[in-house]
A and B are shown apart, each in its own frame.
Chain A
Amino acid sequence: MARIELDLAHAYRPNPRQDGDYALLPLKMTFEDGGAYALLGPSGCGKTTMLNITSGLLVPSHGKVLFDGRDVTRLSPQERNIAQVFQFPVIYDTMTVAENLAFPLRNRHVPDEQIRKRVGEIAEMLDLSGQLNRRAAGLAADAKQKISLGRGLVRSDVSAVLFDEPLTVIDPHLKWQLRRKLKQIHHELKLTLIYVTHDQVEALTFADQVVVMTRGKAVQVGPADALFERPQHTFVGHFIGSPGMNFLPAEVQGSSLLLAGRTLLLPRRTALPAGPVKVGIRPEYVVIAASDAQGAVPARVQQVQDVGTHLMLTAEVLGGRVKARLGVESPELAPGDTVWLQLVGEHTCFYVNEELVP
């Protein structure tokens, strides 16, 4: 296993001049030995480029890739000792499940006794023990993908295991079980795992550290709670959570905040520069307040949706629109009603130039 450092940029065409010419903007990034990472972002954000540079399928146009301090920038995946799992099953149909799992080990001339033991362990973890002697050909797509996962995980001496949207072909009802398997396997095997996905549930569930990417840039690296509570960039606030964070324009004047036509006291412990800021509030942290209550702002109800487990309020305030997730016990509201909302509190984030003010 290895500690992987990236200090690079990548453009698919020569002579990049502006930001838009880069698939990956200049970045420094470290994957610690034994960590579980997810690269998360919309299509075109650069996550697959980063994965391919890490694996050795792609040589970056600028900079270096280091494995435990050694420059591997121009080495192939084999030379870097990388195992990979792709979107679709890559297995040998004519082989049995056991032979498929053993294949990466046989290639490396691992002794038979060790192969048997390791294949047994991996099959056990993935619930494939009962099917070891079956031919892979007759299996369903999700069983085949489990074999692919097993092949990726079977070698204990790899630098890292890289996954590219590996649960795409899995039936939604079975996905969570495989997510659990992957998580258990990470706990047991302590391999360095890097996982590419556009699915926030997959990334946040699987990884200890999630790398959120947009437009060729890693805008935040952190655990799920940090991405939810303290998004470092407005994109993270928007992308994580459904619906994402509300953003409203405001102005700081000394110790007060001009927001939605009201002058509010800034929460303690926030030292903000005077001038315009963007206020970020999660729908989960908007609270209905009494009329004219201290710190509250008036809003006009646009829509109230019963989404089953809670109510989703959409309301207009001076300067923007706010979504609020309310408990089912909330007072009855109808479009056109005026409602007072407590927006600013300990969970509120402040942004200048789209970056979080710490």
Chain B
Amino acid sequence: MQLVLDGIGKKVGVETWLHPMSLALRSGAVTVLLGATQAGKTSLMRLMAGLDTPTAGRVLVDGRDVTGVPVRHRDVSMVYQQFINYPSMTVARNIASPMRLRRQVDVDTRVRELAAKLHIEPFLDRLPAELSGGQQQRVALARALAKRAPLMLLDEPLVNLDYKLREELREELTQLFATEGSTVVYATTEPAEALLLGGYTAVLDQGELLQYGPTVDVFHRPRSLRVARAFSDPPMNLITAEVAADGLRLRGGPVLPLAPSGALTGGSVTVGLRASALRVVPREHDVALPGRVELAEISGSDTFVHVGTAAGELVMQLTGVHYFELGAVLTVWFSPAQAYLFDAAGDLSMAPQRNRGQ
């Protein structure tokens, strides 16, 4: 199914909720809508579903103009943050409901199949209220999948779950999306979730569509500072720099021996460094940023070290568990080849080379 948004916008009174945008979603694939809360993700999804009508532009499904066609006349399934199920129906009847509406045959087989995929088979005869939050959301997901709609919209479906459950379900979902073949739109505030889902990503910020493309490409080549900010967690380290004869002079002193493109002569630019590009053990040609430890946050798989330096406060990501005393002296190292460069207008002018293909 091919969903195309053609110059759509949404105004409510004098307020602009969505600035005019055009977007042709990759059909049969997952598109992640990535953005902070209030970025416009839900507003955009409501237009895609037909729950709302845009105030400008057209919505096209397989070339047909469906702008203004209400949701009940569209073939869409939706999953929300809250676990929405029919409270008086058993899990099995909940999952079956979209199929019964269509008088489908073989409903039981399909219910069992979906329940097995989502690991809720043992609960088919229970009521939703008797299940944990994670299980309830699995029921809602199974019902959405049962509909076999060519367009499936999921609005932060895992946000209300514990992180381990989130991890498990996200993995199951990516596999289900791959096998079901629907066009899927999945809204999230978390950059890491976008990367794990893969597919394509549309970055939204303050009602504006900033960039759309394959998820890894958008991550590795953010078009602007705004995209880089929206698509990094921990945040990308951003350091102001001056274009000098011998390269780029970072705030606080050190010079990066980079030859920026002609467009960057003079004026101030921004150097971007991913947290994972910073390290404590230098390699050849590394640049040093001396500082002091402000905090080491430990996630288990990673340690995020906040370091105060003359270039500003930086965050460094190290694999595994590492301890640092608060206030300890620490030099942060990085390779100039890992630096992103944004011009005075905030547009990307250089990204690190990637040594692998798509």
Query: Is residue B17 contacting chain A, with contact meaning CB distance below 8 A?
Result: no
Interface stretch (choices A115-123, A148-156, A162-170, A300-308): A300-308
Inter-chain contacts of B297 with A (CB < 8 A)? 176, 179, 201, 205
Query: Is residue A198 contacting chain B, with contact meaning CB distance below 8 A?
Result: yes
With A229-B321, A309-B276 in contact, is A183–B326 under 8 Å at CB? yes
Query: Is residue B299 contacting chain A, with contact meaning CB distance below 8 A?
Result: yes
Contact A284 B319 (CB under 8 A): yes
A146→B192 CA distance, assembly (Å): 29
A242→B132 CA distance, assembly (Å): 22
Residue B321 contacts which of A43, A204, A283 (CB distance < 8 angstroms)? A204
Query: Is residue B356 contacting chain A, with contact meaning CB distance below 8 A?
Result: yes
Interface stretch (choices B50-58, B98-106, B159-167): B159-167
Query: Is residue A345 contacting chain B, with contact meaning CB distance below 8 A?
Result: no
Contact B326 A180 (CB under 8 A): yes
Query: Is residue A228 contacting chain B, with contact meaning CB distance below 8 A?
Result: yes
Query: Is residue A227 contacting chain B, with contact meaning CB distance below 8 A?
Result: yes
Contact A242 B167 (CB under 8 A): yes
Inter-chain contacts of B28 with A (CB < 8 A)? none
Query: Is residue A262 contacting chain B, with contact meaning CB distance below 8 A?
Result: no
Question: For window 110-162 of chain B, which residues contact chain A by CB distance below 8 Å?
Answer: 132-133, 162
Query: Is residue B357 contacting chain A, with contact meaning CB distance below 8 A?
Result: yes
Query: Is residue A249 contacting chain B, with contact meaning CB distance below 8 A?
Result: no
A240→B298 CA distance, assembly (Å): 11
Give 1 or 0 for each of B193-222: 1 = CB within 8 Å of chain A CB.
001101000000000000000001001100
Name the CB-closest residue of B to A198.
B162
Tally of contact residues, A, Cβ under 8 A? 40
Interface stretch (choices A2-10, A16-24, A78-86, A325-333): A325-333
Residue A242 contacts which of B133, B276, B300 (CB distance < 8 angstroms)? B300
A199→B297 CA distance, assembly (Å): 12
Contact B301 A332 (CB under 8 A): no
With A42-B162, A200-B299, A328-B355 in contact, is A180–B317 under 8 Å at CB? no
Query: Is residue A34 contacting chain B, with contact meaning CB distance below 8 A?
Result: no
* Residue of A44, A224, A328 ringed by the most chain B CB atoms within 10 A: A224
A-B residue pair count with CB separations less than 8 angstroms: 99
Contact A200 B300 (CB under 8 A): yes
With A204-B299, A228-B300 in contact, is A242–B321 under 8 Å at CB? no
With A224-B321, A305-B198 in contact, is A201–B274 under 8 Å at CB? no
Query: Is residue A291 contacting chain B, with contact meaning CB distance below 8 A?
Result: no
Inter-chain contacts of A229 with B (CB < 8 A)? 321
Contact B162 A241 (CB under 8 A): no
Contact A224 B298 (CB under 8 A): yes
Query: Is residue B40 contacting chain A, with contact meaning CB distance below 8 A?
Result: no
Residue B167 contacts which of A187, A201, A243, A306 (CB distance < 8 angstroms)? A243
Question: For window 187-205 of chain A, which residues contact chain B by CB distance below 8 Å?
Answer: 187, 198-201, 204-205
A133→B163 CA distance, assembly (Å): 40
Residue B219 contacts which of A43, A308, A310 (CB distance < 8 angstroms)? A308
* Residue of B164, B165, B275 ringed by the most chain A CB atoms within 10 A: B164
A128→B195 CA distance, assembly (Å): 38
With A180-B294, A308-B195, A308-B219 in contact, is A241–B326 under 8 Å at CB? no
* Residue of A227, A240, A306 ringed by the most chain B CB atoms within 10 A: A306
Query: Is residue B320 contacting chain A, with contact meaning CB distance below 8 A?
Result: yes
Contact B195 A306 (CB under 8 A): yes
Residue B300 contacts which of A44, A179, A198, A227 (CB distance < 8 angstroms)? A227
Query: Is residue B272 contacting chain A, with contact meaning CB distance below 8 A?
Result: no
Query: Is residue A225 contacting chain B, with contact meaning CB distance below 8 A?
Result: yes
Inter-chain contacts of A187 with B (CB < 8 A)? 326
Contact B320 A284 (CB under 8 A): yes
A284→B301 CA distance, assembly (Å): 8
* Residue of B192, B295, B301, B357 ringed by the most chain A CB atoms within 10 A: B301
Query: Is residue A350 contacting chain B, with contact meaning CB distance below 8 A?
Result: no
Contact B163 A200 (CB under 8 A): yes
Query: Is residue A239 contacting chain B, with contact meaning CB distance below 8 A?
Result: yes
Query: Is residue B35 contacting chain A, with contact meaning CB distance below 8 A?
Result: no
A199→B164 CA distance, assembly (Å): 10
Query: Is residue B20 contacting chain A, with contact meaning CB distance below 8 A?
Result: no
Inter-chain contacts of A244 with B (CB < 8 A)? 164
With A240-B300, A308-B191 in contact, is A332–B356 under 8 Å at CB? yes
Contact A205 B295 (CB under 8 A): yes
A43→B165 CA distance, assembly (Å): 11
Give 1 or 0 for each of B153-197: 1 = CB within 8 Å of chain A CB.
000000000111101000000000000000000000001100110
A312→B132 CA distance, assembly (Å): 29
Name the CB-closest residue of B to A204.
B298
A183→B295 CA distance, assembly (Å): 8
Instruction: Give A161 Cβ to nearest chain B Cβ, in Å.
Output: 19
Question: For window 219-245 of chain A, which residues contact chain B by CB distance below 8 Å?
Answer: 224-225, 227-229, 238-244
Name the CB-closest residue of A to B195.
A307
Inter-chain contacts of A224 with B (CB < 8 A)? 298, 300, 321, 323
Listed by A's residue number, 22 A-B pairs whose Cβ atoms lie within 8 Å are A42-B162, A42-B164, A43-B162, A179-B297, A199-B163, A200-B163, A200-B300, A201-B299, A204-B298, A204-B299, A225-B323, A227-B300, A228-B300, A238-B164, A243-B167, A283-B301, A305-B195, A307-B195, A309-B275, A312-B196, A328-B354, A332-B356
Residues of B within 8 A of A (CB): 132-133, 162-165, 167, 191-192, 195-196, 198, 216, 219-220, 274-276, 294-301, 304, 306, 317, 319-321, 323, 326, 354-357
- Known A242-B299, A308-B276; 16 more pairs at CB < 8 Å: A42-B164, A180-B326, A183-B326, A201-B297, A204-B321, A205-B295, A205-B297, A244-B164, A283-B301, A306-B216, A308-B191, A308-B216, A309-B274, A309-B276, A309-B317, A329-B355
Residues of A within 8 A of B (CB): 42-44, 176, 179-180, 183-184, 187, 198-201, 204-205, 224-225, 227-229, 238-244, 283-284, 305-310, 312, 325, 328-329, 332
